[in-house]
Amino acid sequence: MQSAIPNLENRQNRVLDLLKANSGLIAVFLILLAFPFIVALLNGQSFSAVLNNETGNAKFLQGLMIEVFILGVYAISYDLILGVTGLLSFGQAMFFAVGAYVTGIAFKKLGLGIWATIGLVVVAGVIQALLFAVVLPRVKGITFALVTLGFASVFFIVVKTNELKDYTGADVGLQGVIAPAFLDTNKERFVLYIISLCFALVVYLVYRRFVDSPTGRVCIAIRDNEDRALMLGYNTFTFKLVVLIIASITAALAGGLHAIHQPIVSPNIASLAFTVAALLIILIGGIGTLTGAYVGAIVFRLLQFYLDKWFGEGANFLLGLVYVLLVLFIPYGIVGTWRVHSFRVKQGRQYLARLLSGGAYQPVDAEVEE
Amino acid sequence: MSSLLEVNNIHTFIGQFHILEGVNVEVEKGSILALLGRNGAGKTTTLKTILGLTPPRKGSIIFNDKEIQGLPSYDIASMGIGYVPEHRAIFRDLSVGENLKIAERKKGDLAGKEDLIFELFPDLKRLIRLPGTSLSGGQQQMLAVARALVPDNKLLLIDEPSEGLAPVLIEQMMEAIRKLSAETTVLLVEQNFIVASKLAQKYVIVEEGQSVKQGLIEDLVDDKETIHRYLGAA
Amino acid sequence: MGGFRETILNNRARLIIFAVLFILFFTAIRGMDTEDWTITLLRGLSVGAITFLVAAGLSLIFGLMDVLNLAHGELFMLGAYVGWTVYVRPDTFMDVLTFSTIIGAGLVLLPLWRYLYSNWRPSQSMANIWPWIVLAATLVLLFFAIREYPLSIWDPEDFTQSPGAFSLAVSQGMLVLPEPPNYESIPPAVGLGALFLGGLLLGVALVGIEQRKLAALIETHFSWRAIVMSAGLLILGLIFFWFNDPITEYLLNMNTAARFFLAMAVAALSGLGLGALVEKSMIRPLYDRPIYQIMLTLGLGFIIIEVVQAIWGRPGFGLPKADIFSGTGEGCPATNFSELLENQCSTIVLFDGRVRTYNEIFIILIGVVVLVGIWLLLQKTRIGMTIRAGVQDSEMVEALGINVRRVFTFVFALGVGLAALGGILAAPSIGLSPEMGTRLLLLALIALAVGGLTSFPGAAAGAVLVGLLQQFIIKYGQIGINLPFLDEPFKPTPPLVPASTVLLMVILLLVLPHGLFGRRE
């Protein structure tokens, strides 16, 4: 991955370098910004149709893309835990669902404003991360996964019980979450689209920065060999805790956005199946690559949508099959595989250069272990 | 004498690390050959590569006139190679008797070798029912060697038999290995040069994944410079 | 031996936990009438027995191969559905058995292809491609051959033909099976021939896939055994085909208890077969990528759920108990065991309480039998010895010349077989539904974490502990707990049941991170 290396000579160059280093990202952002307008154009609508929320393909695809952004943010938070830090957790769906339920209840039952709600979601995110972290110093690997699975399952069962029907809506879920008017998914689709896009972008940038920071490097070291990281004098518990808190808050915020966009909170998003969805997304995209979470989210959502459309009931079966085949044959996912290949391509180019120039052949460092 | 084992220019990778970069070893039938070298030189990996636990990516291994590189470990072991790993690897949940029994390749292997084993390691006889965990380090080492003796092995790969043992036990272990070599061939990895020089007839020195020097061990004993250069203190 | 004091000191956390658990248990018992606590105890043991059947396999598999098989719950469920089919629809079972036998007859010729292949040297790219082409063609062929096979089956979409309706008919003793269909569009010989050919080609493709890299290395010889086995299976399959109706009739009229045991055997055996298949085809390529195995089993679990929903339908249904467990007539409830056997009562009076024969006695009995059986297997047989050794260090076992991979397959098959047995055993008491596995898996995983992940006794102890806790909480949910600082009895609500087991796990892991019987690695 290219990272911005600031040129200290002068400020102008620095900005230019930053732009250059992130040109791909900026291009993607601009394309996504223009995306609703392009769709509208292709469908014979005018640009104002997008701004006025006229029904049509443009609006529909914006809705789909909002879901992709939400899924992407949700998946990237899981990637941080699993792919970057190497903590196997089966509680990601709970992180997401807590955000969604808190948002729903705050709007519907407590009548809170948007900022208070966001504050509440963040607090809830921190609390559940701390809950998961209770066993963190003592329990490792699979056992930690089992504990998280236990917590998440209890949460799933609890939101589905009739005792809490007034708050969670039990089996049916929380219906009719009324978001502030400027976020209404039906009337202000384009605004929500832009907000989701920016949200996804900001999360990505923060995560990128985190992984490239010294703290992030330690997290990767923990994934590769925790004992070694411990021996180097790092208190790995603190790092894992920080990662859990960041991931939990991110997922909870994504859940909140989900509650606003849907605007129904179904208990399904708290089930193990939804954690598996996150796993599937980062598997498609490539574990530990961050970018892969978004790539995976697009592929996953489109796959889900079209399989549903074409095969109806059989869609889940096919999705499961895709998943198994991915694990068996494309373990690095799209982004990961592409990086392995681009490494080979680079190597080949250098080899060619050596042949032509007769100079010394300098092998490039492997980015992804084969 | 013909050679029982021929290791030709093997290259082994563990993950992306190139551990062995060309090791050549030739062990003659009925002899003891010592593999010498510093820590991390690649001696243990050489043994594991012979056994197929870390298969070589390049080079050939010929055992008993057959190429064995690339075969699964259990096939290689079944051809008659016994392995005594570093740190013994005694099975904790098995009794001493079961630790021996599990090494049988056909029924009756153990019954046929019991006399030999108890002659070499009399201690084991009274420990036979105890769990593997309750043994001392020295007893575990003896059990590990005894385990390799149960089937009819043509070649024994013994990794650091003297490591962590008290001097008295080292003597006993050396005695046992000397007795063994009357019947089988031994490829020995040893840090302790004095032990190695008393046991082996020939040596191969491994340095940074390559075999750099070989010859008769009696020539090496007086070659202080080589010892100092490749083995550190002597 | 002066180690006794040390042993106590080293295990003090464990001993304290045991003491606390015992105190808790006795406090729980003291709050109830004799009648209540005996029944609750038996129910707890019953849940524990079912949980144990799932947890035992999980623990063996995880111990030996470091694979946490998250599809285990779904395999448990599959066992229940397979057993249901044998018990309620023997005709469908016979049909499936017939074509499986014929496909199997083709498949067992596999060693012959290995022999032929060793004399054929295709180019590497050919060797990489052709098996997949053959495999794809074979699957298409098998798909059509099986679809053409005259299968007598239920229809989840049609209420009168749904699995639930058949279950109800069996429980009322009024089961009428639909008219057995025959080959219609093609002659039977062609249909059966296609099945045989499908199995045969499947073997060819599998050998091709297996030998892509190893062709030169494996020694092969011409195998007469394969031909004899194939011929035997073929004859068996044809017998099944021609005498399908009489055999079905026989199964239908046999003693329901015998049919239930047959259902248990078939469920366990198909679990065994499926386990071996899953291990060989999917888990084996991933031994050097541990986390991927967990992900794979997760995906597999979802596929199984979808398949079950497609075949047996989404709604749950029951499995009637065999007559021997369901008598309610004269002399019931029984007051002692001889009366119980004589009158075939559904309940027996023990300690003033009515205990259900099937749920609280038979299930526990099977649980104990399996526990002892597996224990004997582990302690007294050579393969058990290999498993115990492999749990600690499978590389060393391999270095001794033992084909550890074969042991892996065995253990995986055994574990899945046990889970499938648990499924059919649990079905009459908890009913069949596509979700039954997920719930039980959670319980089994908690039992495993509590007992110590790789420890077999730990799996048993954890399962019993979780079962007891769950049942006592449920019971206290009905009668309430008198707490000193509350006016009214505190009644644990249903959500507290799973919460309590998870809480138990978390507290226990905080004190003993490796579980009750686990060992620090």
Question: DSSP letters along C94-136, please?
Answer: HHHHHHHHHHHHHHTTHHHHHHHHTT----HHHHHHHHHHHHH
Q: Nearest CB to A135: which of C296, C442, C506?
A: C506
Residue count of chain B, please give it: 234
Q: Where are the beta strands (DSSP E) in chain B?
A: 3-14, 17-28, 32-36, 58-63, 66-67, 81-84, 155-159, 185-189, 202-207, 210-216
Q: How confident is the model at residue C432 (pLDDT cuts 50, 70, 90)?
A: very high
Q: What is the mean pLDDT of residues C263-288?
A: 90
d(CA C210, CA C118): 12
CB-CB under 8 Å, C282 with A324:
yes
CB-CB under 8 Å, C399 with B83:
yes
Q: What is the pLDDT of residue A43?
A: 75
Q: How confident is the model at residue C355 (pLDDT cuts 50, 70, 90)?
A: confident
Q: Which of residues 371-390 of C touch B (CB under 8 A)?
A: 382, 385-386, 388-389
d(CA C174, CA C150): 24
Between A44-58, A76-90, C225-239, the lowest mean confidence (pLDDT) is in A44-58
pLDDT at residue A71 is higher than 50: yes
Q: Which chains touch C (3 or more CB pairs under 8 A)?
A: A, B
pLDDT at residue A366 is higher than 50: no
Read off the tokens for A44: 């014979």
Read off the tokens for A54: 């006229």
A188 vs C48: which has the higher pLDDT: C48
A227 touches chain B (CB under 8 A): no
First to last CA, chain B: 31
First to last CA, chain C: 25
User: How many contacts, defined by CB atoms under 8 Å, are there between A and B?
Assistant: 4
Q: What is the pLDDT of residue A55?
A: 74
B167 touches chain A (CB under 8 A): no
Alpha carbon C244 to its chain's center: 27
Q: How confident is the model at residue C249 (pLDDT cuts 50, 70, 90)?
A: confident
d(CA B61, CA B54): 13
CB-CB under 8 Å, B93 with C392:
yes
Q: Which chains touch B (3 or more CB pairs under 8 A)?
A: A, C
Q: What is the pLDDT of residue C363?
A: 92
Q: Which chains touch A (3 or more CB pairs under 8 A)?
A: B, C
Residues from chain C contacting residue B84 (CB–CB below 8 Å): none
Q: What is the pLDDT of residue C344?
A: 77
C447 vs A3: which has the higher pLDDT: C447
A366 vs B23: which has the higher pLDDT: B23
Torsion angle of C-alpha atoms A234, A235, A241, A247, degrees rounded to 10: 10
Q: What is the pLDDT of residue A329?
A: 82
Identify from A135, A140, A151, A153 which residue to disrupt to test chain C contact, counting C C-beta atoms within 10 A and taking the largest count.
Answer: A153
Q: Nearest CB to C217: which of B71, B85, B102?
A: B71
Distance from CA of B16 to the nearest CA of A (A): 7
CB-CB under 8 Å, A320 with C509:
no
Q: How confident is the model at residue C520 (pLDDT cuts 50, 70, 90)?
A: low
Q: What is the mean pLDDT of residues B1-23?
A: 82
d(CA B163, CA B170): 9
CB-CB under 8 Å, C291 with A328:
no
Q: What is the mean pLDDT of residues C372-391?
A: 92
Q: How confident is the model at residue A1 (pLDDT cuts 50, 70, 90)?
A: very low
Q: How confident is the model at residue B234 (pLDDT cuts 50, 70, 90)?
A: very low
Residues from chain A contacting residue B15 (CB–CB below 8 Å): 369
Which residues, other chains included, contact A235 with Cβ-Cβ below 8 Å and sequence gap of 6+?
Answer: none
Q: What is the pLDDT of residues B106-142, one digit of tens each?
A: 888 888 888 888 888 888 888 888 888 788 888 888 8
Nearest residue to C387 (alpha-carbon basis) of C398, C378, C374: C378
Is the Cβ–Cβ distance between C302 and A276 less than 8 Å?
yes
Q: Which residue does chain C place closest to A323, by CA atoms?
A: C299
Residues from chain B contacting residue C385 (CB–CB below 8 Å): 94, 98, 101-102
Nearest residue to C178 (alpha-carbon basis) of C189, C197, C193, C162: C162
Q: What is the mean pLDDT of residues C110-128?
A: 77
Q: What is the pLDDT of residue A3?
A: 45
Q: Which residue does chain C place closest to B89, by CA atoms?
A: C396
pLDDT at residue C356 is higher than 50: yes
A370 touches chain B (CB under 8 A): yes
Q: How confident is the model at residue A352 (pLDDT cuts 50, 70, 90)?
A: low
User: Mean pLDDT across chain B, nearest whole number?
Assistant: 84
Q: What is the pLDDT of residues B178-189, one digit of tens each?
A: 888 878 899 989
Q: Nearest CB to B91: which of C217, C389, C398?
A: C389
Q: What is the pLDDT of residue A351?
A: 65
Residues from chain A contacting residue B17 (CB–CB below 8 Å): none
Q: Nearest CB to B151: which of C382, C386, C401?
A: C401
pLDDT at residue A10 is higher than 70: no
Q: How confident is the model at residue A360 (pLDDT cuts 50, 70, 90)?
A: very low
Q: What is the mean pLDDT of residues C336-355?
A: 76
Q: How confident is the model at residue A370 (pLDDT cuts 50, 70, 90)?
A: very low
pLDDT at residue A41 is higher than 90: no
Q: What is the pLDDT of residue C24?
A: 86
A23 touches chain C (CB under 8 A): no
d(CA C518, CA A351): 53
Q: What is the mean pLDDT of residues A291-311?
A: 87
The predicted complex's ipTM stands at 0.89
Q: How confident is the model at residue C254 (pLDDT cuts 50, 70, 90)?
A: confident
A369 touches chain B (CB under 8 A): yes
Distance from CA of A363 to the nearest CA of B (A): 14
Q: What is the mean pLDDT of residues A158-184?
A: 75
Q: What is the pLDDT of residue C335?
A: 76
pLDDT at residue B2 is higher than 90: no
B16 touches chain A (CB under 8 A): yes
Chain C residues within 8 Å of chain A (Cβ atoms):
62, 68, 282, 285-286, 289, 291-292, 294-296, 298-300, 302-303, 305-307, 309-310, 438, 442, 445-446, 448-449, 453, 493-495, 498-499, 501-502, 505-506, 509-510, 513-515
Q: What is the pLDDT of residue C141?
A: 92
Alpha carbon C514 to its chain's center: 26
CB-CB under 8 Å, A366 with B15:
no
C9 touches chain B (CB under 8 A): no
Q: What is the pLDDT of residue A203?
A: 92
CB-CB under 8 Å, C449 with A143:
yes
Is the Cβ–Cβ distance between B101 and B117 less than 8 Å?
no
Read off the tokens for A296: 């995976």
Distance from CA of B157 to the nearest CA of C (A): 11
Of all residues in chain B, what percent carry a pLDDT higher than 70?
Answer: 97
Q: What is the mean pLDDT of residues C494-502?
A: 80
B98 touches chain C (CB under 8 A): yes
pLDDT at residue C519 is higher than 50: yes
Q: What is the pLDDT of residue C507?
A: 86
Q: What is the pLDDT of residue C101?
A: 92
CB-CB under 8 Å, B103 with C400:
yes
Q: What is the pLDDT of residues A180-223, one digit of tens each?
A: 777 777 777 788 888 899 999 999 999 988 988 888 888 888 88
Q: Which of residues 250-279 of C touch B (CB under 8 A)?
A: none
Q: Which residue does chain A place closest to B16, by CA atoms?
A: A369
d(CA B143, CA B94): 12
Q: What is the pLDDT of residue A365?
A: 43
Q: What is the mean pLDDT of residues A79-98?
A: 89
DSSP string, C51-98: HHHHHHHHHHHHHHH----TTHHHHHHHHHHHHHHHHH-HHHHHHHHH
Distance from CA of C391 to the nearest CA of B (A): 9
Q: What is the pLDDT of residue B164?
A: 79
Adjacent-strand bridge partners of C432: C317
Q: What is the pLDDT of residue A93?
A: 92
Read off the tokens for C126: 């050919």
Q: What is the pLDDT of residue A355?
A: 62
Residue count of chain C, please give it: 521
Largest Cα–Cα distance of chain B, in whole Å? 51
Between A241-245, A353-357, A360-364, C339-343, the lowest mean confidence (pLDDT) is in A360-364
pLDDT at residue C214 is higher than 70: no
Bond prior to A263 in cis (omega within 30° of 0): yes
CB-CB under 8 Å, C509 with A139:
yes
C373 vs B22: which has the higher pLDDT: C373
pLDDT at residue C43 is higher than 70: yes
Residues from chain B contacting residue C402 (CB–CB below 8 Å): 74, 102
One-letter amino acid of A175: Q
Q: Nearest CB to A324: which of C300, C310, C495?
A: C300
pLDDT at residue C45 is higher than 90: yes
CB-CB under 8 Å, B147 with C401:
no
Q: At what angle do helices C110-117 and C224-242 cross, to 10 degrees?
A: 150
Q: What is the pLDDT of residue B7?
A: 86
Sign for the CA dihedral angle at C320, C325, C329, C333 comes to negative
Q: What is the pLDDT of residues C289-312, one digit of tens each?
A: 777 888 888 889 888 998 998 889
Q: What is the pLDDT of residues C77-118, one digit of tens each?
A: 999 999 999 998 888 898 899 989 999 999 888 888 888 877
Q: Is C160 exposed, middle or buried (0-12, 13-18, 19+ CB in 10 A)?
A: exposed
User: Mean pLDDT across chain C, nearest whole number?
Assistant: 85
Is the Cβ–Cβ distance between B135 and B127 less than 8 Å?
yes
Q: What is the pLDDT of residue A4?
A: 46
Torsion angle of C-alpha atoms C83, C87, C89, C95, degrees rounded to 10: 60
Q: What is the pLDDT of residues B201-222, one digit of tens each?
A: 888 888 888 888 888 887 877 7
Residues from chain A contacting residue B16 (CB–CB below 8 Å): 366, 369-370
This prediction has a pTM of: 0.87
C15 vs C337: which has the higher pLDDT: C15
Q: Which of residues 45-74 of B touch C (CB under 8 A)?
A: 51, 53, 70-74
Is the Cβ–Cβ distance between B157 and B187 less than 8 Å?
yes
Distance from CA of A366 to the nearest CA of B (A): 9
Read off the tokens for B33: 């050959």
Q: Which DSSP state fits B66?
A: E
Q: What is the mean pLDDT of residues A359-363?
A: 45
Which residues, other chains included, contact A222 with Cβ-Cβ below 8 Å and sequence gap of 6+?
Answer: A85, A86, A229, A234, A236, A239, A240
Nearest residue to B105 (alpha-carbon basis) of B76, B85, B138: B76
Sign for the CA dihedral angle at C116, C120, C124, C128 comes to negative
A47 vs A256: which has the higher pLDDT: A256
Read off the tokens for A360: 């010394």
